[in-house]
Amino acid sequence: MASKKETIVCFCEDITEEEIVKAIKEGYATPTEIKRHLRAGMGECQGRGCMLQVMKLVSQKTGKSPEEILPPTDRAPIKPVPIGVLRKISVKDGGG
């Protein structure tokens, strides 16, 4: 049986629970900072698989209530989209 420290939280970037707990102790105390520091949530799934777990760990280790823990900013596109599809979108006025 795998030991606890080998529990993988972010499958896309291979980030373990132990690494996340260590980062929180080092002061990366929000999901946003953990994302930038460890890349948890920066892979193919964009955090859909791991971010709730990361938020739960932050809540447990910092003692903050779950409502206080905000997820990182969601970035478009919501799912990975191929370049060949994106270039075809029509933009009325050239966009910002």
Residue 37 or 61: which CB sits closer to other proteins? 37
What is the CB neighbour count within 10 angstroms for residue 47? 22
Which three-class secondary structure state does DSSP give residue 54? helix
Contact 20, 38 (CB under 8 A): yes
Contact 41, 2 (CB under 8 A): no
Residue 6 or 44: which CB sits closer to other proteins? 44
Task: Choose which of 8, 33, 52, 59 interacts with other proteins (CB under 8 A).
Answer: 33
Considering the rule CB under 8 A, would residue 50 count as an interface residue with other proteins? no
Q: Residues interacting with other proteins, by CB under 8 A?
A: 30, 32-33, 36-37, 42-44, 46, 73, 75-77, 80-84, 86-87, 89, 91, 93-96
